[in-house]
Amino acid sequence: MPGTGWVPSPGGTAYDDLAAWVRSKGAPGSVLVRPGGWQFAAMDPARSRRAAVLILFGVRDGVRSTDAGDAGHDDLDILFLMRSGSLSNHPGQVAFPGGAIDPGDADEGAAALREAQEETGLDPGGIDIVGMLPEVGLPVSNFLVTPVVGWWTEQSPVYAVDTAESEAVFRCPVNLLLDPEHRRTAVVRRKGFVSRTPAFLTPDAVIWGFTALLLDAVFDGLGWTRPWDRSQEIPAPL
């Protein structure tokens, strides 16, 4: 990708692409998502809290290739959850598993795995932490969020452990998320301000907002994005 300092290796596997790109984002000054017209508020550094989310890639059911040695990105899916509609922050929205970093967490990766286990029941022993991406500010809840990239080496069942927190847990194929027919721009109009974020149409839900921004940045950075029409707008499913 021009200007990123990293390009996919010809013939490389999806795991190779992920590992190399994540390493490249560890350089000083690297940015994943730049502040822009999607933010309704500004971060308050004095009161911000740290959080981590798990962007977990796994080999899709029905794909014979089951190890990192030969899986391409079309063989993969990503784990998501749908937040409960009764929550005060981001109710009913699709998110990556994750949450606030606790004092007892060894690092962002440990926090992301702990939260993912609590929310989806996955076995953290079957996940390889590929690495951490630059943190991104989420002003509406004043979190500084570190995206943690994971690879599912030994997959385990997942479900909504606490339905008061998560209404559903689902895995979505990467090739569906990359399909231009499933890409839109989600729009929120509030008190004269207009926020636009990428959106992904899936059979389970519309992924938009902060989660879609992270997903879009990851696909762009990896060089996996297929050209899509950003002028196709939909109202954000609030």
Number of domains in the chain: 1
- What is residue 9's predicted lDDT score, i.e. its pLDDT? 60
16 vs 70: CA distance, rounded Å: 10
CB 56 within 8 A of CB 112: no
- What is residue 211's predicted lDDT score, i.e. its pLDDT? 95
- What is residue 192's predicted lDDT score, i.e. its pLDDT? 76
199 belongs to a structural domain = yes
202 belongs to a structural domain = yes
Closest Cα partner for 150 from 122, 113, 111? Answer: 113
Residue-range definition of the domain harbouring residue 121: 39-235
65 belongs to a structural domain = yes
54 belongs to a structural domain = yes
27 belongs to a structural domain = no
Phi, psi (rounded to 5 degrees) for 108: -65, -40
- What is residue 160's predicted lDDT score, i.e. its pLDDT? 94
- What is residue 34's predicted lDDT score, i.e. its pLDDT? 79
Residues 46, 138, 83: CA angle, nearest 5 degrees:
125
Dihedral of alpha carbons 6, 7, 10, 15, sign? positive
Closest Cα partner for 16 from 130, 100, 119, 180? Answer: 130
- What is residue 7's predicted lDDT score, i.e. its pLDDT? 63
52 belongs to a structural domain = yes
Closest Cα partner for 79 from 134, 23, 148? Answer: 148
Which residue type is seen at 222? L
32 belongs to a structural domain = no
- What is residue 63's predicted lDDT score, i.e. its pLDDT? 80
Cα 195 to chain center, whole Å? 19
* Partner residues linked to 185 by β-bridges: 198, 233
CB 206 within 8 A of CB 198: no
CB 14 within 8 A of CB 72: yes
Model confidence, pTM: 0.91
| 121 burial type by CB count under 10 A (0-12 exposed, 13-18 middle, 19+ buried) | middle
Q: What is the CATH number of the domain that holds 221?
A: 3.90.79.10
pLDDT per residue, tens digit, the chain (238 aa), is: 333 455 666 667 899 999 999 999 999 899 998 776 666 567 787 888 999 999 999 999 878 655 556 889 999 999 999 987 555 565 678 999 999 999 999 999 999 999 999 999 999 999 999 999 999 988 877 889 999 999 999 999 999 998 888 889 999 999 999 999 999 999 998 777 888 999 999 999 999 999 999 999 999 999 999 999 999 999 998 7
48 belongs to a structural domain = yes
